[in-house]
Structures are given as C-alpha cells and as structure tokens.
Homo-oligomer: A and B are copies of this chain.
Amino acid sequence: MELTEDGLLAAVRKVLSGAGPDVVIPIGDDAAVVRPGSGDLVLTTDALVEGTHFERAWSTAGEIGAKAIAVNLSDVAAMGASPRFALCALTLSDDVDAAWAIEAFGGMRQVCDEFACTLVGGNLARGREVTLAVMITAEVAPGRAVRRSGARTGDALVVTGALGGAGAGLRCVRRGAPWTDPERDAMRRLVRPVPRVGEGQALAAAGATAMLDVSDGLAIDLHRLCEAGGVGARIVEAAIPVHPAATLADALGGGEDYELLAAVPPEAADVAEEELRATFGTTLTRIGEVTDGPVVVVDDAGRERPIGDAGWDHFR
C-alpha cells in the first residue's frame, strides 16, 4: 500500500457520514465529539477477525465492513435501544490495499445509514490479519433497556425470523455451487446479517422482560437467558422456525443468525407478532415458555429432553 496512514484516513473520511446536527467534531481529530440525547447510553463492542469470523475469499470488503457494524447493531437491538454513533478500529494485513479498506468503510457507512447511526471515528493499524473492532453508542429511555435477566415463569418465548440460516450458509459456501434458492438466501444471511433493530425496540415496547440476540445458536443462547434470569424453559421442537436450507442442528448450534430471542408476557406475544409483521415484515414465532424447571425441548412424540448448551463457542 502506497498510502500513508494520514492519506488513508483522509480517503476514508470521504466515505464517512461525518458531520450531522449531533456531531460536534467528526472523524479526523484525536477523538470525535457528539451531542447525546437525554436517555441512557448503551455501549457495546464486537470484533470480526479474519479466519475466525470471515474470509476475504468469501465476502467483499463492503460486506465484511457491513457485517462488522451489523453484529454490533444486533447487540444494541437486543437491549431495545436506538443506535447513534459507531467507531471502528481496523487492523490491516500487508496484502490488503487502500481500496479494500475504503470499500470496507463504505460497507460500514451503508449499514450505519440504514439504521440512523453515524460512523464518527476510526483507527488504522498494521497486523498479520485483518480485524474490524467496532464499538457502538446507542440510546434508550432511562431505565428501559431490556436485560437478559428479567424472564418470568409463564412468559412466552419468541424468536424473530428463522434460525440456522448462517450455519447452513457456511456449509454451502464451503461446498461450492450449485446452490438452491434457499441456500443462496442462507449464504446471504451468513455474509450480510440484518440486525433486528426496529424489531428489538418493538419487543421492548411490547413489554419484553428479557432479550438477547441469537449469535451462538438457540441452545446456548436460550441457556444464557435462563441462567441470567434463574428460570427454565420448555420449547417445542416443531415450533422452532428453521431456515429452509437448514437443519434443526443448525438452528440449535449453528450460530451467527443474529435473530432476537425474547421472553414476553403471554398476553403480549400475539400483539408483538402482528406488529413485527405489519411494521417490519418480520415473522415472530412463539417457540415455548419460561418455566421454573430445567431447559427442555418437547419433540413431535411429546417427549421432553434436555437441551444441551452446545452452541458456537469461539473458545472450544
């Protein structure tokens, strides 16, 4: 790469949203300065590491940048919050040129724009592998963020969209063409997940007592929600919305779906389902209920069996 860090930053700045009424000092100074609203601040960070979370042979730079923002917006969505500002610390390896970095920032910008978030800062460093560490600042009305821990016995367990698509997509990418239409959709979900930001706010408004995003597979994430709340769950195998290209195992353990799993008061589940369909075109599926027992799944023959917490864990 012929560019200097300052030169690359100047080029990157051109693709960024830069100033807005709430941006006092945009990218280009030692730090960005922004004007917050009156709510609580929601802060999150998540990194995509080459080889672990993406391969440059599978995704364009724009897609990788977009995914780095999307997975962070998914955490914001799981709190029921509104995204405001994003930062990205980008590490580039020697075989990545300036055009790649600029395209990656372009992908970030695109998703930020889509969710009314402003990319206000960045950092560039050299390393042996490409890493995109994104941080998002979001806002939520004071005291209204939805935790993982509030589920109550009797709440309905609901999940947005379909599960297992990203896991199936990974298999399809590795296998190669030909692909069916559902398989192409599954690969798209892997490469370019859509954060459920509006859906998370709607679920929060509907009274969700606990929520998280399904990033590591339904099994492990359901265990997390139950553990945080000191509750159990009974879900119905046949009710799990499995992506048409995926298997039940993908849905339970595939990871990277970035759908929302929430506990909602039973009387609110139908209303929330209707609202998500009408407003976002997103299905909301009731998969079971919160109990005071263990975490179990009921199969088609009516038998209960425990769900293992085997999901995607980067440290296994």
A interface, CB within 8 angstroms of B: 1, 3-8, 24-25, 28-36, 40-53, 75-76, 78-79, 81, 85, 87-89, 91, 120-129, 131, 133, 135-138, 140, 142-143, 145, 147-149, 211-213, 224, 228, 313-316
* A30–B125 touching, CB < 8 Å: no
Q: Name which residue of chain B comes closest to A3, CB basis.
A: B315
9 contacts between A and B (CB under 8 A): A28-B148, A30-B44, A31-B43, A33-B42, A43-B85, A45-B122, A47-B131, A53-B125, A128-B128
* B41–A128 touching, CB < 8 Å: no
Residue from the list B33, B127, B142, B212 in contact with A30, Cβ < 8 A: B212
Q: Which residues of B contact A4 (CB under 8 A)?
A: 313, 315-316
Q: Which residues of B contact A34 (CB under 8 A)?
A: 40-41, 43
* A33–B41 touching, CB < 8 Å: yes
With A31-B145, A33-B41, A45-B89 known, 12 other A-B pairs at CB within 8 A are: A24-B145, A30-B75, A30-B148, A33-B145, A43-B135, A47-B123, A49-B131, A52-B126, A127-B131, A128-B128, A129-B129, A131-B133
Q: Name which residue of chain B comes closest to A223, CB basis.
A: B6
The smallest C-beta distance from A138 to any residue of chain B, in angstroms, reads 7
Quick one: given A33-B140, A43-B137, A131-B91, are A315 and B126 in contact (CB under 8 Å)?
A: yes
Quick one: given A33-B79, A145-B25, are A124 and B315 in contact (CB under 8 Å)?
A: yes
Q: Which residues of B contact A24 (CB under 8 A)?
A: 40, 143, 145
Q: Name which residue of chain B comes closest to A98, CB basis.
A: B315
Q: Which residues of B contact A35 (CB under 8 A)?
A: 40-41, 142
Q: Name which residue of chain B comes closest to A131, CB basis.
A: B131
Q: Which residues of B contact A228 (CB under 8 A)?
A: 28-29
The smallest C-beta distance from A21 to any residue of chain B, in angstroms, reads 13
A85 to B45, CA, bound (A): 12
Q: Name which residue of chain B comes closest to A140, CB basis.
A: B33
Quick one: given A45-B135, A52-B126, A128-B129, are A31 and B76 in contact (CB under 8 Å)?
A: yes
* A125–B6 touching, CB < 8 Å: no
The smallest C-beta distance from A226 to any residue of chain B, in angstroms, reads 13
Quick one: given A6-B224, A40-B34, are A148 and B315 in contact (CB under 8 Å)?
A: no
The smallest C-beta distance from A230 to any residue of chain B, in angstroms, reads 14
The smallest C-beta distance from A118 to any residue of chain B, in angstroms, reads 10
A307 to B31, CA, bound (A): 26
Q: Which residues of B contact A45 (CB under 8 A)?
A: 87-89, 121-123, 133, 135
Quick one: given A87-B44, A131-B91, are A138 and B53 in contact (CB under 8 Å)?
A: no
Q: Which residues of B contact A79 (CB under 8 A)?
A: 25, 29-31, 33
